[in-house]
Amino acid sequence: MKISTIGCGYLGAVHAACMAELGHEVVGLDVDERKVELLARGEAPFHEAGLPELLRRNVDAGRLTFTTDPSAIADCDIHFIGVGTPQMQGRYAADMSQVDAAVQTILDNTDPNREEPALIAGKSTVPVGTAEAIAGKVAESGKNLLVLWNPEFLREGFAVKDTLEPDRIVYGLSEDVAEGEKAREMLDECYREILDRGTPRLLANYPTAELVKVAANSFLATKISFINAMAELCDATGADVTKLAEAIGHDDRIGKKFLRAGIGFGGGCLPKDIRAFMARAGELGVDQALTFLREVDAINTRRRVGAVDLVTDLVGPRLVGHRVAVLGAAFKPDSDDLRDSPALDIALTLWSRGADVVIHDPQAGGKLKEQRPDLEVVDTIEEALSGAEVTMLLTEWKQFRELDPAAVKSIVKTPVIVDGRNVLDPRAWSEAGWDYHGIGRGVSI
Ligand code: UGA
């Protein structure tokens, strides 16, 4: 099939490469010339395991191209919309301007005399009601286009695997049965190889498909804030949240995943998705149904504040001049994504209050240097730890998890470690002479 992906960010670029890997002819469209140039050469503009190999292979095979020219999508059978829906400045609601522009691009570049329908398959995370509104706009245009909503559940760091081997695929179909059926057939053909492996495919209407996505992310965020709330109780009582999580997780109705207490969730999805969901519920007059998400958000924010407060407890209220080593800037390991990163947020707060902050991140460091030349960002763990009065592990990269406490003790000025992700062994670090502070491990932060 001939396919377009509109938007070549974390979602769109991975989707484009994966669709080409399935054998389709794919054109990725984006307005960002620099990004398109890199992708067209088969280079990934961000860090994602497995993506560079996939890009290169499919670009070299001639199946995958990238462009800023919208006319290149004119003869595609399927248009995937994978643009961003970031949080609006100063508001909870999602900024839908990129989705609106993508739809307009498709309409403008669809031949009015097209005989066979083309399919618009939305992948972006959108407020419920978006697909219906797009279908209305398409109907008004008179263009031969179908609309289907096909939410994406990929995790950064596992994006290629999650796209090619998803645990489920959801189709949100038009209430018009004939249109819905045709759209389903087209997407089935596109995903044939994945579906033939037995991947569950759930058929639903538009609003259900849109809600599945935000419900899933809200549930994940709630799990994290739940365990972080338990961490506060643990700190107040001397209990250990890592043991608590393990014990409750043995009950498979609860499950062990997403119960890692720490400095909380960040990134381009969970924080803005729960806020946009609350905003949409308000518009629909059912805001009370989601008031618990306010608390989920508040608990999450409190983790960041708590980490800063801990540093002031450790070095005194005046942070000015105190050297703090921050290990990690990305919102999670195996990613260079700095969007709404708890690690970076904490580092910036300490820095703005006068602390002498030095940051090291194995992948996001280069990007951070470009974005914030005013910060001290270094290339090695040793440089970061040199002379530190407090060392903070804020993103759990493997190289940080495997640090040898005895070996690195001689580099720092004072052996104080804040384990913001509860990934270090408190006993090993204490025995090596470090003052260890975890989260919800009996130490108040
Ligand atoms: C998230 C969802 O997990 C994906 O299923 C979804 O498709 C994606 O958003 C999206 O909407 O596009 P992602 O943002 O890549 O994926 O990151 P996660 O792995 O969910 O982690 C989010 C944050 O939660 C990170 O900051 C991580 O450190 C934190 N986290 C995660 C915890 O603090 N504790 C945990 O137990 C798990």
Ligand 1 mean position, distance from CA 224 (Å): 9
Confidence (pTM): 0.96
Measured between alpha carbons, how far is 245 from 237 in angstroms, rounded to an integer?
16
pLDDT of residue 444: 41
Task: Pick out the residues of the known binding site for substrate.
Answer: 153-156, 213, 258-262, 266, 332
pLDDT of residue 445: 39
Closest CA to 69 of 105, 107, 118, 117: 105
Is residue 247 helix, strand or coil? helix
Atom of ligand 1 nearest to the CA of 273: 11
Task: Pick out the residues of the known binding site for NAD(+).
Answer: 30, 35, 85, 125, 156, 272, 339
pLDDT of residue 185: 98
Closest CA to 234 of 439, 424, 422: 439
Atom of ligand 1 nearest to the CA of 267: 14
Asked whether 267 lines ligand 1 (CB < 6 A), one says: yes
Atom of ligand 1 nearest to the CA of 263: 33
Measured between alpha carbons, how far is 370 from 348 in angstroms, rounded to an integer?
15
Ligand 1 mean position, distance from CA 401 (Å): 19
Alpha-carbon Rg for the chain, nearest whole angstrom, is 24
Instruction: Look at ligand 1, atom 11, and give the residue with the nearest C-alpha.
Output: 269
Atom of ligand 1 nearest to the CA of 216: 5
Beta bridge partners of 119: 78, 146
Asked whether 292 lines ligand 1 (CB < 6 A), one says: no
- Could you confirm whether 234 is annotated as catalytic? no
Asked whether 228 lines ligand 1 (CB < 6 A), one says: no
Below-50 pLDDT ranges, the chain: 444-445
Ligand 1 mean position, distance from CA 149 (Å): 22
Instruction: Look at ligand 1, atom 18, and give the residue with the nearest C-alpha.
Output: 155
Asked whether 269 lines ligand 1 (CB < 6 A), one says: yes
Beta bridge partners of 216: none
34-62: b (≥16 Cβ within 10 Å) or e: ebbebbbebebbbbbebbeebbbebbeee
Instruction: Look at ligand 1, atom 7, and give the residue with the nearest C-alpha.
Output: 153
What was the ipTM of the complex prediction? Answer: 0.98
Asked whether 259 lines ligand 1 (CB < 6 A), one says: yes
Residue pair 74/104 in contact by the 8 Å Cβ criterion: no
Asked whether 220 lines ligand 1 (CB < 6 A), one says: yes
Residue pair 383/358 in contact by the 8 Å Cβ criterion: yes
pLDDT of residue 442: 73
Ligand 1 mean position, distance from CA 332 (Å): 8
Measured between alpha carbons, how far is 412 from 373 in angstroms, rounded to an integer?
24
Asked whether 304 lines ligand 1 (CB < 6 A), one says: no
How many beta carbons lie within 10 A of that of residue 11, not counting itself?
A: 25
Ligand 1 mean position, distance from CA 174 (Å): 30
Ligand 1 mean position, distance from CA 155 (Å): 7
Instruction: Look at ligand 1, atom 23, and give the residue with the nearest C-alpha.
Output: 265
Q: Out of 18, 76, 234, 269, which one is annotated catalytic?
A: 269
* Domains of the chain and any CATH numbers: 2-199 (3.40.50.720), 218-437 (3.40.50.720)
